[in-house]
Amino acid sequence: MFTEMHSLYEWAWVIPALPLLSFLLIAFVTKRSKGLSAAVSILAILCAFGLAIAIAAGVIGSGSEIVKHPVITSINWLDISGLKLNFGTVVDPLSTMMLFVVGLVASMVQIYSVGYMHGDRGWSRYFAYQSLFAMSMLGLVIATNLLELFIFWELVGLCSYLLIGFWYHKVSAREAAKKAFMTTRVGDFGLLLGILFLFSKYGTLDFVHLAALMNGTAQGLALAGGVGYITLTAFLLFVGPIGKSGQFPLHVWLPDAMEGPTPVSALIHAATMVVAGVFLVARIYFIFQHAAPGALEFVAGLGAFTAIFAATIAIAQDDIKRILAYSTLSQLGYMMFALGVGSLTASMFHLMTHAFFKALMFLGAGSVIHALHEKQNIWDMGGLWKKMPITGTTFAIGVLAISGIPPFAGFWSKDEILSAALQNGHPIIYAVGLFTAFLTAFYMGRLFFVAFMGPEKKENHPHESPYWMTVPLIILAFFSTVGGLVALPYHNFAFYVRNYIFVNGVVSLGTFTHEGMAWGLAGISVLFGLAGLVLAYMTYVTQTVKAEAVAARFPGVYKLLKNKYYIDEIYLWIIRNIMDGVGKVLYWFDIHIIDGVINGLALITRGGAGGLRRVHTGQLQTYALVFFLAVVVIFLAYTMGSGQVSALNPLAMLGGVK
């Protein structure tokens, strides 16, 4: 089985190549035809998704063989002394899972976009960007080395920028695009530094080689320059995921990124691109394992903090997309701390289920916004379930999934993260995660009850969205419902997607971090999720608990949450005062010192030239005289000179006059 599938795995490069082809086709050929552009783009992503499914089926069939021997196909891209770079694809359970998730969500979003972007002037451009993004993201997940990954990493950042600023006629969209690009650049700088640190020490960026070099023996560590060096590198590499996956304090770009079209938010800023950071940490997990324990603890702490931090903000937001954006931040924090507490499996599991239900909810929100003609405030909605039964029902599934209610997908992955946190000895993080689960259920319940139930608004005339939009919702709802069951019978998911550890150069399977379903813990987290939903129901439907009264009782807290802890304002203050102050000093230096030197040089040159040009009299005969005298001088110099120039001696040339 394994060997037969091998030849299929070597064709994994076709998966990102198809959307790239579609991007080029749309950009250069079919741009003028709307229908053709969409057809090309959707066809390409569906073919890529089909291939991803085929590979996934093969990987599941291969059993533990593929875990031990990931199939790496690469070609040499650059080979100069001291720098050898390969480009290639790696097929292992981790990349296969990502291929499946990205392929699924990208195809659903592109199909959905046919309905959502109907009549938009930038239609073909939109599908071209979508294809470019699909290419970059699919390439990212099958990269074999850090540099290849970094290239795709920057490409997805570019696509994110292009799609956030898709409606570039809106000032807010342009600003948000710039903010997203620059904030993630801060993180990418750290990542690049980390890559250079790795390369300067090991001379390779290949994941497998790096893992083999750091195999944990004393010799390997000595070569690595000690634990301290690895720890520093791990921290630097982690700065990239902080920016890309919106961890505190670089989370500010993600809520603003909601300025883009809603399907873009679903694809890029919820399901795929933002999890690239989590994926990267999973990919280079061995570095964190060889680093000092503080590195992973930092990941766990920051993730947990981001989870609860963003969840509290989400409670006080009114914009439907912003609530979902802060929810995404919170869930990304969840995935991060799952990695931090040592459960790669749980993190990747949650990544997958989150992609299903968050994409579902974003697309549902897009459906609502579409029906209500660009209204995004949840208080302007109400009673939508009756008018939009498919959107409402699928959204409800998403809410149940994220709240961790069994048997929906989120229950399984969230429980696995929480039990991993507790069983690996992080009770505080467990408590934070549990409380975040409660908050998540509460704000999701609030969103759902306010927007979909409650009284209808007279001024709204919602109608169900076309099939282009509802069919992807139904498919994603299906995966949000059953997606968690892969964890069930023999913990298949944990069996495949786990960390491979190199011990003395041999791949060992690593330990199962999955401890089995802890039904007691699962019960507790379900209770917390239910409590959140019930509280939201009591507050916003039966109004037993008065939201206004609570807000009035803690005005300071409410204001703090409403204004997102004033993080944006703090950044603005820093930029206005400190950065501008430094800028003024540098400006003075530039004007007076740098420009002074340059202008001084120019003045000296001009003065010298002014003197020298007097030599040019314009008199023909003066020139002739100077010319003649110069010839005489050169002649004399040659004749007086000895040695090598004697060959030019005119007497010698004549062979001596008799």
Binding site residues, another protein, CB under 8 A? 613-614, 616-621, 624-625, 628, 654-655, 657
Distance between CA atoms of 505 and 213, rounded to whole angstroms?
8
Residue 641: CB minimum distance to another protein, A: 23
Residue 600: CB minimum distance to another protein, A: 24
Residue 612: CB minimum distance to another protein, A: 10
Instruction: Return the exposure string of 543-576: e unless at least 16 CB atoms fall within 10 Å of the residue's CB, then b.
Output: eeeeeeeeeeeeeeebeebeebeeeeeeeeeeee
Sort 243 into a burial class: Cβ within 10 Å, 0-12 / 13-18 / 19+. buried
- Between residues 556 and 610, which has the closer beta carbon with respect to another protein? 610
- Between residues 647 and 654, which has the closer beta carbon with respect to another protein? 654
Q: Where are the alpha helices (DSSP H) in 203-292?
A: 207-213, 218-223, 226-244, 253-256, 262-266, 276-283, 285-290
From the CA atom positions of the chain, what is the Rg in Å? Answer: 32
Q: Where are the alpha helices (DSSP H) in 119-206?
A: 123-141, 146-164, 171-202
Residue 610: CB minimum distance to another protein, A: 9
User: To which residue do tokens 């950071």 refer?
Assistant: 277
Q: Are strands 501-503 and 71-80 parallel, antiparallel or unpaired?
A: unpaired
> Three-class SS of residue 407?
coil
- Between residues 43 and 633, which has the closer beta carbon with respect to another protein? 633
Residue 618: CB minimum distance to another protein, A: 3
Residue 582: CB minimum distance to another protein, A: 47
Residue 243: CB minimum distance to another protein, A: 59
Task: Choose among 56, 14, 26: nearest CA to 125.
Answer: 26
- Between residues 458 and 658, which has the closer beta carbon with respect to another protein? 658
- Between residues 222 and 657, which has the closer beta carbon with respect to another protein? 657
Residue 390 exposure: Cα atoms within 13 Å on the Cβ side: 18
Q: Determine the length of the chain.
A: 658
- Between residues 1 and 626, which has the closer beta carbon with respect to another protein? 626
Task: Choose among 491, 331, 493: nearest CA to 410.
Answer: 331
- Between residues 506 and 652, which has the closer beta carbon with respect to another protein? 652
Instruction: Return the beta strands (E) in 39-138 as ranges.
Output: 71-80, 83-91
> Please, which residues bridge with residue 319 across strands?
377
- Between residues 552 and 626, which has the closer beta carbon with respect to another protein? 626
Distance between CA atoms of 215 and 508, rounded to whole angstroms?
11
> Please, which residues bridge with residue 79 across strands?
84
Residue 624: CB minimum distance to another protein, A: 5
Residue 601: CB minimum distance to another protein, A: 22
Residue 658: CB minimum distance to another protein, A: 8
- Between residues 519 and 627, which has the closer beta carbon with respect to another protein? 627
Residue 626: CB minimum distance to another protein, A: 11
- Between residues 577 and 617, which has the closer beta carbon with respect to another protein? 617
Residue 186: CB minimum distance to another protein, A: 55
Distance between CA atoms of 360 and 209, rounded to whole angstroms?
38
Q: How far apart are the first and last CA of the chain?
A: 99
Task: Choose among 251, 563, 313, 532: nearest CA to 410.
Answer: 532
- Between residues 119 and 611, which has the closer beta carbon with respect to another protein? 611
Distance between CA atoms of 104 and 94, rounded to whole angstroms?
16
- Between residues 218 and 657, which has the closer beta carbon with respect to another protein? 657
Distance between CA atoms of 412 and 646, rounded to whole angstroms?
95
For residue 358, the 8-state DSSP code is H
